[in-house]
Structure 1
């Protein structure tokens, strides 16, 4: 409010949106007091924008825009948004017709319109510039766009403005960015993470489930959902079941949406809303689905990582991560969607047994506990006898597979081929997992073909199990492989689990027993052990950068370092 530049380290979900909107509005209104009342000033112009707020994602920008318009009620301040995935001409028309005092934008779209002379968008008298989720912007490659935007804005030496930069972490690249933006002789660094504050990823319970293969992914999600819904119905103190399910790519999100809508969860009469958000949706569809999930008391949101940071969804009871997360930071950001503002929540990580060692390497030191409560995790379709409940879960997923176009699974197959392998997961293991999904899950006689060009680019020629070629574009439905046994249409045999390969006996393959293959026990080889000593935070020779060394005091950057405590 004093008008000094600010660099703030703040977690998501702590109310920082209002922390920057209020001073921005105050600064704009102080410069033009007639804006304080409705109808007091009607000459807003797209060529005289007074404040710019940058956000890394379309969803977060739209969310900030909604909050800004709420503050603008009763005033003459005009708020506009400009984000990728929407029609540029339509946004330009709205700004040119109605004017703009405060513009909320994504970096790519802002760079586009500021550099386009036909857009008639300019900020010669800019009074405030805000970067929200600065570390995320740099993570996704917006550094060049931000530098170009700064070049297109009036120099601070000529037109004074207040710069507010918010970031969950303060790594070196954020320090460099801040140095290029704020007045180095007149700024404040505020750290809102107190030594007593426990980060979400250390506070909420987190479970890891080892499944036999990718064909167990969807049944395991279905089982978690049914248990969560049942618990909420029986325990008045429990949160309604509201979950975000994260997948590593858009193709799997689209496929999961098709499959789960055909299950009991998607039943219009007895089910709950099933929504999806990913990069292939239009901005209108993404905003509509985000708003619907935000309003819902109980719902399932299937998502790529576009919602991993910044998006505020109240009442999320579960976060389910399917497959290896890209890295430790992204795992933590995903978990941060639950347990917000001190509320309860829990996290689930569903991994194939072959992915356990790689997960240990990426997620060492995190308080992730093994969980073998899911019966669907160890069932082998077509081979093991299954309880009625497990058979029902697999049968429902099978019906979803049958309804989904075959091309969608082919897209999933090829998308998974491009995932980060890491130190321990080999390409041969990934191929076996995906081929097992197609044969045991969908009942396909052969796996999807990999186009020759893709195989060459990814060095897949000669890898066992890879079928190089082209598939015909047919949509003949297939379900789970039939075992020929009595029982359901998909070949699930109902019966006792004792002695079965997919059972839960002590010492079974893939169990979480002491000394077991792929176990997560404390002290086991490669387990989720302590991540080593804390970073020392060496003093910087740069006096500006040294202002940020406080992040290594107390708990400052704890969210993104390995903890020194044992995991289990």
Structure 2
């Protein structure tokens, strides 16, 4: 976690059984999605960002009858590029989009993650640059990703193609993402930057502060991957700045590609700024893809706030007892909550490895946690929405969402981490009693969610409550304070839906701190005191003057 965050780091519990990943041997052409780590010019390869391979049987169910060799026969890709593609057949996404992209059209493609869409734009990019790359190594292809993990996954596949085609020494591949040493990026800008994969925040920093703009004189390809997620993550202003930093298409022609699972108005607006009027709109979503809930069993439970996390523990324990190969992603609403919940789950006797990934973790720790989770046969990953879209983790048996989703779309995006590549899976949503309104929100009734079939007695909630109370007594006040602040900030944004006043949400937050986090500070008179909040934080939340808050100038919580 971050240097100022909880002391929890994903580690092996004594007695827990760790799975051992099968070494990826060389696979035949008909096996998609097994890619080695990339080799990049002028940039260190992200060693932990690999693309996992689903089983051969599930792959064959999700392939088209179109071969990559068909494009070589038409002269659209060279034999060298073909040799670099370790798959024989295209996925439906690739089959639907490759012709248009290889012939130079702008494309707006609707496709979900985990369907091979990354190769749908990487193969044409590398084919094009192999024929006409910049002699001075300026940026020829710019690929934007909403998350560091997805950016590294894209780079991993690009590195595979470059090595397979023998182009790794001719074309420079750079990955610019936040959470890494910017000095390395500054040095990389001085070298070959033929293909750049980046997250918007870091890219803007390099453009505005470190002269990357001078390397953007004539990009040939511009790709927005997970465009809806880019905008969901608040990158609208950054995207507009990046587009403005590119030269006019009238003087420097380029191809623009948009990939997105959904097309809300925000995506349509950015698309109008970037795509030519003659662009091709391709949808590769089946009815099953659009309605994820129709092939994933979904359950919900509404429990007293005091029992929310014990119910999480009881549910995990039940799943562990039923399936020794259980693999779960738990989604929480904030990074601080993800860190706190991972720490407490690590310190109760679940006997299963617990990992965490969220924006408060350093990049190396996130990479290590994700890599360990990927290779472990049975494990739990506690995550904020960092992994809700864009990362394909195989064999997720359950998605467990804890707390109020921001909307139905977010709920469905998270749910989409399971039941991938033709496999089964289930989704469970656990809400505290004050969040029950969500179950009557617009669109929820169409999801087909069923009540959680396990009672508190079956889940042994009272037993897990005792275990968690003990674990919380060993948690630092600092972690509890950070969790409280993040919790209050998140739910303050939902007051209207919660039908609460500011006074009521503060009261509920204090109950959460006292009864759930077991925050036990008292003043000189022996009266319980809420976790401290900086006065400026209270002001930003719009809660200045609300009774029940402990406003302080300096936080003084112990480590």
The TM tier, using the shorter chain, reads 0.7 to 0.9
Report deviation, 1:264: 1.9
Residue of structure 2 in register with 1:17 after alignment: 118
Residue of structure 2 in register with 1:108 after alignment: 201
Report deviation, 1:135: 1.5
Secondary structure, aligned partner of 2:497: coil
* Cα distance change, pair 44–398 in 1 and its aligned pair in 2 (3 A): farther
Answer with 1 or 2: which has the greater Rg.
Answer: 1
Cα contact 1:45–1:95 (8 A) shared by 2: no
The within-5 A match list for 1:44-443 is 45-46=136-137, 48-73=138-163, 74-76=166-168, 77-97=171-191, 99-116=192-209, 118-119=211-212, 122-185=215-278, 187-195=279-287, 197=289, 199-213=291-305, 215-233=306-324, 240-265=325-350, 271-361=351-441, 364-365=444-445, 366-371=447-452, 373-375=454-456, 389-419=460-490, 420-421=493-494, 422-427=496-501, 430-441=505-516, 442=518
Residue of structure 2 in register with 1:565 after alignment: none
Greater mean deviation of Cα atoms: 48-57 or 464-473: 464-473
RMSD of aligned Cα (Å)? 2.7
Cα contact 1:79–1:100 (8 A) shared by 2: yes
Cα contact 1:113–1:121 (8 A) shared by 2: no
TM-score, normalization by structure 1 = 0.71
* Cα distance change, pair 79–121 in 1 and its aligned pair in 2 (3 A): farther
Cα contact 2:331–2:382 (8 A) shared by 1: yes
Q: Which runs of 5+ in 2 are unaligned?
A: 1-101, 523-527
Secondary structure, aligned partner of 2:498: coil
- 1:50-100: per-residue Cα shift (whole Å, max 9, x none)? 111111111211111111111111323331100122122112223434x22
* Cα distance change, pair 49–231 in 1 and its aligned pair in 2 (3 A): same
Cα contact 1:317–1:345 (8 A) shared by 2: yes
Report deviation, 1:457: 5.3
* Cα distance change, pair 51–389 in 1 and its aligned pair in 2 (3 A): same
Secondary structure, aligned partner of 1:423: helix
Distance 1:176 1:337 in 2: 28
* Cα distance change, pair 71–3 in 1 and its aligned pair in 2 (3 A): same
* Cα distance change, pair 431–17 in 1 and its aligned pair in 2 (3 A): same
Distance 1:371 1:53 in 2: 42
The within-5 A match list for 1:385-534 is 389-419=460-490, 420-421=493-494, 422-427=496-501, 430-441=505-516, 442=518, 444=520, 446-451=528-533, 452-455=535-538, 458=541, 460=543, 466=549, 473=556, 475=558
Cα contact 2:109–2:281 (8 A) shared by 1: yes
Cα contact 1:83–1:106 (8 A) shared by 2: yes
* Cα distance change, pair 454–241 in 1 and its aligned pair in 2 (3 A): same
Distance 1:358 1:388 in 2: 23
Secondary structure, aligned partner of 1:70: helix
Distance 1:363 1:167 in 2: 21
Report deviation, 1:202: 2.9
- 1:277-336: per-residue Cα shift (whole Å, max 9, x none)? 111222222222222222222111111111111121111111111111112211111111
Distance 1:458 1:95 in 2: 39
* Cα distance change, pair 134–389 in 1 and its aligned pair in 2 (3 A): closer
Distance 1:359 1:430 in 2: 20
Secondary structure, aligned partner of 1:124: coil
Secondary structure, aligned partner of 1:285: helix
* Cα distance change, pair 118–50 in 1 and its aligned pair in 2 (3 A): closer
Question: How many residues end up aligned between the 2 structures?
Answer: 441
Greater mean deviation of Cα atoms: 327-336 or 187-196: 187-196
Distance 1:275 1:206 in 2: 24
- 1:447-468: per-residue Cα shift (whole Å, max 9, x none)? 5245455555546577675555
Distance 2:468 2:184 in 1: 42
Distance 1:388 1:219 in 2: 9
Cα contact 1:308–1:333 (8 A) shared by 2: yes
TM-score, normalization by structure 2 = 0.73
Report deviation, 1:217: 2.2
Residue of structure 1 in register with 2:130 after alignment: 29
Distance 1:388 1:355 in 2: 21
Secondary structure, aligned partner of 1:302: strand
Cα contact 1:357–1:425 (8 A) shared by 2: no
Cα contact 2:311–2:461 (8 A) shared by 1: no
Secondary structure, aligned partner of 2:441: helix
Secondary structure, aligned partner of 2:257: strand
Runs of 4+ in 1 over 6 A off after TM superposition: none
Distance 1:373 1:388 in 2: 7
